[in-house]
């Protein structure tokens, strides 16, 4: 009789554990009229936009557990601060979305790799700001604007390819990207904001296309005499450029390059 009771107790405990596991799984797998995401405790996949417009909008901000994020096609936008300061986040893949709002991945200090898909038109303020471990990111051809501080202090980023359709680089967009050694500005670029390339001390040279109608104050702040700025099709700075665009910049300027 005692053995039977023990067996029943063991079976009850086993079934309870199984029930807890199954329940936990479905807590992380949510399906509700197009609102769908899955999260196994470390890896998050978002299938539908409606997830972001629920009471759980900021659920993952400052999450200490999140390691990877996959946002699939069909999500309209990634709202501001959605994954801000997720310090253990290592990889991000964003599908065909239109918009990544400000601070979405800011201060994710272990984020190393980011993949962005075509369709994104703007990288907003501080989206990847202070992601100090970021090593690689692709900027899709659909991006026309990189807003202020988008990649500020991404101190591990060594090079980045900018899309041909890019029109504007905002204030401090690449400020303090200390390891960046190579960047090519597209021929359609018209605007370079204040301090856009401030303290980018590893870039040997940069070429400013003739299309650039505005350069902001201290755009190349802290550049040294070992660095060179080539300026195409101009013998002097136009009146539309900020008068202090060269402030605290010792780089060699080559006109009519």
Q: For the segment 162-189, what is each residue's pLDDT rounded down to a tens digit?
A: 999 999 999 999 999 999 999 999 999 9
CB atoms inside a 10 Å sphere around CB 87: 13
CB 118 within 8 A of CB 144: no
Statement to judge: residues 26 and 147 lie in one domain: no
Lowest mean pLDDT among 29-33, 113-117, 132-136, 195-199: 29-33
Statement to judge: residues 77 and 181 lie in one domain: yes
Q: What is the pLDDT of residue 36?
A: 73
Of 244 and 31, the structure prediction assigns the larger pLDDT to 244
Statement to judge: residues 5 and 116 lie in one domain: no
Beta bridge partners of 37: 30, 46
Q: What is the pLDDT of residue 51?
A: 74
Statement to judge: residues 119 and 211 lie in one domain: yes
Residues 6+ apart with CB under 8 A from 49: 74, 75, 76, 77
pLDDT at 122 over 80: yes
Statement to judge: residues 61 and 91 lie in one domain: yes
* Furthest-apart CA atoms within the chain: distance in Å: 100
- Residue 181 belongs to domain spanning: 37-254
Statement to judge: residues 65 and 144 lie in one domain: yes
Statement to judge: residues 65 and 172 lie in one domain: yes
Whole-number mean pLDDT of the chain?
87
Q: How many domains does the chain have?
A: 2
Statement to judge: residues 125 and 218 lie in one domain: yes
pLDDT at 25 over 50: no
CB atoms inside a 10 Å sphere around CB 22: 10
Q: What is the pLDDT of residue 19?
A: 44
Statement to judge: residues 75 and 27 lie in one domain: no
- Please state the rounded mean pLDDT for residues 67-87: 92
- Please state the rounded mean pLDDT for residues 78-95: 94
Q: What is the pLDDT of residue 47?
A: 86
With a pLDDT cut of 90, the percent of the chain lying above it is 72
- Please state the rounded mean pLDDT for residues 136-154: 96
Q: What is the pLDDT of residue 53?
A: 67
Select, from the ranges 37-51, 88-102, 204-218, the one with the highest average predicted confidence (pLDDT). 204-218
Lowest mean pLDDT among 17-31, 49-63, 165-179, 193-207: 17-31
Q: What is the pLDDT of residue 99?
A: 84
Lowest mean pLDDT among 59-73, 106-120, 143-157: 59-73
Question: Structure tokens of 248?
Answer: 């605290």
pLDDT band at residue 28 using 50, 70 and 90 as cut-offs: very low
- Please state the rounded mean pLDDT for residues 99-121: 95
Statement to judge: residues 111 and 200 lie in one domain: yes
Q: What is the pLDDT of residue 22?
A: 41
pLDDT band at residue 30 using 50, 70 and 90 as cut-offs: very low
CA 49/CA 131 separation, integer angstroms: 25
CA 207/CA 209 separation, integer angstroms: 6
Q: Which residue in 30, 75, 25 sits closest to 49, CA to CA?
A: 75
Beta bridge partners of 99: 77, 122
pLDDT at 219 over 60: yes
- Strands, E assignment, the chain: 29-32, 35-39, 43-46, 68-71, 77-78, 91-94, 99-100, 113-116, 122-123, 136-137, 145-146, 159-161, 168-169, 182-184, 191-192, 205-208, 214-215, 228-231, 252-254
Of 101 and 26, the structure prediction assigns the larger pLDDT to 101
CATH of the domain at 191: 3.80.10.10
Q: What is the pLDDT of residue 243?
A: 97
Q: Which residue in 132, 127, 133, 130 sits closest to 146, CA to CA?
A: 127
Statement to judge: residues 50 and 131 lie in one domain: yes
Statement to judge: residues 42 and 27 lie in one domain: no
């Amino acid at each position: 009789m005692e053995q039977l009771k023990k067996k029943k107790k063991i079976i009850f405990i086993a079934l309870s554990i199984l029930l807890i596991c199954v329940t936990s799984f479905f807590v992380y797998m949510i399906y509700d009229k197009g609102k769908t995401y899955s999260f196994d405790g470390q890896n998050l996949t978002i299938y539908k936009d409606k997830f972001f417009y629920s009471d759980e909008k900021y659920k993952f901000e400052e999450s200490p557990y999140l390691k990877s994020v996959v946002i699939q096609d069909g999500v309209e936008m990634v709202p501001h601060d959605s994954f801000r300061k997720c310090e253990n986040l290592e990889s991000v893949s964003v599908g065909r979305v239109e918009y990544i709002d400000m601070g979405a991945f800011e201060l994710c200090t272990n984020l190393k790799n980011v993949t962005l898909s075509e369709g994104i038109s703007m990288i907003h303020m501080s989206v990847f700001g202070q992601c100090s471990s970021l090593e690689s990111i692709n900027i899709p051809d659909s991006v026309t604007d990189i807003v202020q501080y988008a990649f500020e202090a991404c101190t591990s980023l060594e090079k980045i390819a900018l899309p041909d359709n890019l029109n504007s680089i905002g204030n401090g967009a690449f400020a303090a990207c200390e390891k960046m050694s190579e960047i090519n500005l597209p021929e359609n670029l018209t605007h370079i904001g204040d301090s856009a390339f401030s303290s980018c001390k590893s870039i040997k040279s940069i070429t400013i296309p003739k299309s650039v109608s505005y350069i902001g104050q201290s755009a190349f702040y802290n550049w040294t005499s070992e660095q060179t700025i080539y300026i195409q099709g101009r013998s002097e700075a136009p009146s539309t450029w900020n008068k202090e665009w060269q402030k605290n910049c010792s780089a060699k300027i080559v006109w009519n390059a």
